[in-house]
Structure 1
């Protein structure tokens, strides 16, 4: 596999649902043999910034420009109304829009379904997503999205439980994601 590099974009939008922001990037790739990702910038700055990336996949592909749409959900401070995304053409400060009815399935995934189990008051929840439909990746992302633990005991035991697993496909954001909702209780 080749190295990740900054990708060009024609449009970037962002939508908020609670502590999560859905970043949707659109643009063109040199050919269909590229994959796209949105990753945290290595800049140690608050609030976190993000990079729109691409890399060539191994193989031979037809040489024609290929449009892409890529969506990534990130945990982001709720008091911030813009998010910074670096790309091959520079940097965009993207206004974070509220989610509309076209993102109702995304909102339901982030909030959780009405049939989810009752949890103890001290339980903390988070969601993780994987564009590769990987349970391992979505579960690790969900655990990373849990708020920092305030356990004061050195030997405190955290129990992480999977509450929901589902998939989001299609829509204007071009979803192709597995999501995993987890809860954590500390004893």
Structure 2
């Protein structure tokens, strides 16, 4: 079976914006448990546009076809707060209203899930594989009628319980890196972390960035007298 990505089927799409971060959450169905889901940015569009795709794992050919619900989310660094984003999927193109919040999206995900959520960083080619989460929470239509236009999938305000259901059990991608210094030099560790930061998911020509230090630590001991400073940073476009 081919491993080429194809547009995936969606039942619901939601977007949240906070502190220069855009969280996109998609719900839908995969052909079987041996498929992985992804959300990727599509450059060159006037309105921020993303693609909801899936790809068969090598073992998918041996798996019996079975519709598998998924809930999947990714966080993108984005410098300008959009009122609406667009998401391409198997059925077409949807305009999705963006809900604004002052809370950190990563903290929201972790707090609502009780800390039991997988937080992953993009690898060198920007690909993130997420496990298949539990079925969508009650209250969402998992079998919507076919749509002939690109009207938003969800237009009414979300309740607190629905937000908790959407933001729980998802995989998150955001820009973070750890730098090291064997000389216990903060400047050296900070510069090392800057070099390791993944590139922004969404870029603008005049984009500025703020980099904050979220953790400082050090390791000591060992036979060789280990002494190393660690600095963890997170980047936000202004």
Partner residue in 1 for 2:36? 35
Query: Which structure has the larger Rg over C-alpha atoms?
Result: 2
Deviations 1:39-95 (A, max 9, x none): 1125x1233311000010011223211000110111234342011110000111100
Q: Which residue in the other structure is 2:73 paired with?
A: 71
**Counterpart Cα distance in 1 of 2:196 and 2:45:** 21
Residue 28 of structure 1 and its aligned partner are, at CA, apart by 0.5
1:98–1:148 distance in 2 versus 1, CA, 3 Å: closer
1:46 corresponds in structure 2 to: 46
Structure 1, gaps ≥5 residues long? 110-127, 151-159, 166-179
CA shift in 2, pair 1:61/1:99, >3 Å: farther
Partner residue, 2:92? 90
Write the distance in 2 (CA, Å) between the matches of 1:107 and 1:62.
Answer: 33
Measured against aligned partners, the alpha-carbon deviations of 1:154-185 in whole angstroms (never above 9, x if no partner) come to: xxxxxx897449xxxxxxxxxxxxxx74369x
Between the aligned partners of 1:10 and 1:40, the Cα distance in structure 2 is 20
Report what 2:234 is aligned to.
182
TM-score normalised by the chain length of structure 1: 0.58
C-alpha distance in 1 between matches for 2:86 and 2:29: 20
Q: Is the 8 A contact 1:12 1:26 kept in 2?
A: yes
Q: Structure 1 residues 149 and 100 mapped into 2: Cα distance closer, same or farther (>3 Å)?
A: closer
Structure-2-length-normalised TM-score: 0.47
Change (3 A) 1:161 1:81: closer
**What is the distance in 2 between the residues matched to 1:4 and 1:52?**
10
**Residue-pair matches, total:** 139
Matches within 5 A, 1:96-135: 96-99=98-101, 105-106=107-108, 129-130=121-122, 131-132=128-129
Partner of 2:146: none
Q: CA RMSD in A?
A: 4.0
Q: Counterparts of 1:161 and 1:100 in 2: how far apart (Å)?
A: 17
1:20 offset after TM fit, Å? 0.9
1:144 aligns to what?
199
How far apart, in 1, do the equivalents of 2:11 and 2:75 lie?
19
Q: Unpaired runs of 5+ in structure 2?
A: 112-119, 123-127, 131-172, 178-194, 217-231
